[in-house]
Structure 1
Amino acid sequence: MSSAAVDSAIKQSANDLAKELEVERVLKAFKLNPYDILDLPLSATESDVKKQYRKKSLLIHPDKYKHERGLEAFDFLKKAHDHLIDLDKRKDIDMIMTHARTQVLKTILGSGFSTNVADDDPRLANLSPPFEQQVRAKGREILVEDELARRRKTKLAYANEGAEKAKAEAEIASRKRKLEEQSKWEAGRNTDPIALIPFQSCEVSRLLTHFFLSFSFIQNVEMSASKVGGTFRTRPIRKRRRRTTCMSWDERGSDLYLCVVSIPHAASHKSSQPLPKSILPPFCNIRTT
């Protein structure tokens, strides 16, 4: 093999190594800091950003270098470039990094010194770790805190949205259930014209909103025989069965109707026992007497 061929092979191997190292560097870079991904100082201009992106993209472009994670690294590089080209997004990251730089300067110089110090100031030389590295580390801490706060806020917003949605669904279900109960009662209540007595609303006192009446009635259910002298006489046995009547005012448009509902008692119910709620209208609270 000629020396030219050897030199070409060595050069190609070196280029491949440089590309592999660059892919690994981008993948290991802090993804929330575009300066870290593009390997640029905080003082980089827009022109510096474009030149650095062009240089790095040619180095690790998936069409020029095959790597199992080359496409992922190139995507990170593109997003970092777009972030720094966008003035609004760059303004946000610059504010965070400026704050980080100020905090590092206060730590190095003390609170009595001005923070308007250039990066090449002699007081910032020969630091361990270097000043730029300290600023990036501090910026990393701030960016991580901000990202965690943003995620907590988003999670809380989703939780609140879910709670509000569940509450709204519960209210809708409750209203629907009440309407169904009202409809069932309306369908089954006494609709005799005598039971619906119209009154003009202006003539009815609101003090008469609800009143209730209990009464007894007599029903012939059996016949009994008794001996009177030498003959037998039959007579009916009168048996009392208890019923409760509910009267309430039902507003329909501009009129009020007196609604009368007659509810029979079960044979086992005594006057001191309340009526089962299952047979009462949904809007009435009835006390029997």
Structure 2
Amino acid sequence: MNIEYLDYFYKVAMAGSISKVANKYHISQSALSQQISRLEDMLGYKLLERSNKGVELTEKGMIVFKYTDNIIRTYETMIEQLQSDDESAQNIKIEACWSIATYSLPCVIYKVKKKFPKHSYELKVNESNLIEENVLNNICDLGVIYSKPQNQELLYHKIGSDKLVLVSAPDFKIPEEMIFKDLVNYPFILLNNNEHLIGAISEKLKESGRGIEDLKILFNSDSAESIKSSVLNKHGIGFLPYTSIKKDIYNKQLKLINILDFSMEYEMYLIYDKKTKENKFLHEFIKYFKKIAHNSLC
């Protein structure tokens, strides 16, 4: 039912005249009469008796009139709340570890944006410990990190997993399967921005009585892209997050090297402050994010 038909019916019934309402709201009398006639047709009852003196409510018209006021007021309240929601549109700030922000989250944000189009979104790269601090200090609204948060004040939810894999150029002279200690035989480019990687490599090398200094490290880099570029140019081999190079492997631009006695997998967690429940917009956003993230990661 068109709410406008009810609105004009109510105004005409209150004024007792079609012409007065038509003049007041700058609509032709014939157009106003047609709208009321359409309402009568939709309901199946005559609502107004028309005469030269004006209009009067029929018995059915009195019933409709009794409910129309509430219907119109409810509709107006709904519109006010919708407008209020628009005015409350938020800028949601998300921080994530580099590979997650660059390769995993864009597809999730795309889906979230379709669900909550009125909000704007900022996605920034940061280190795990700083992300935790920023979530707690309301510098960002939520974060996505590797492993569970250290701070017990934060809530968390697993959204997926990733792994570090060893890669080389397709024609680089290295077997597709090897054991970990053989890494020392090849030029190596070390991803410096992953604390888990350096620690895990050091621990594994200790098992064979070696240290990280025994690797033929060409250089360290905080940038996974610079390592990927060096590997593609056959300068050496390197560990990279699988999410960052899975397309390159699929397109055979990079070769995946299977280390038989070593693997490094880790989980991705959405983290947020307990106080987010007090913000209904953010609470709904996080609820939906948790629902879709696992199946929406790029």
Whether TM-score is above 0.5 comes out as: no
The structure number with the bigger radius of gyration is 1
Identify, as 1 or 2, the structure richer in strand.
Answer: 2
The structure with the greater share of residues assigned to helix is 1
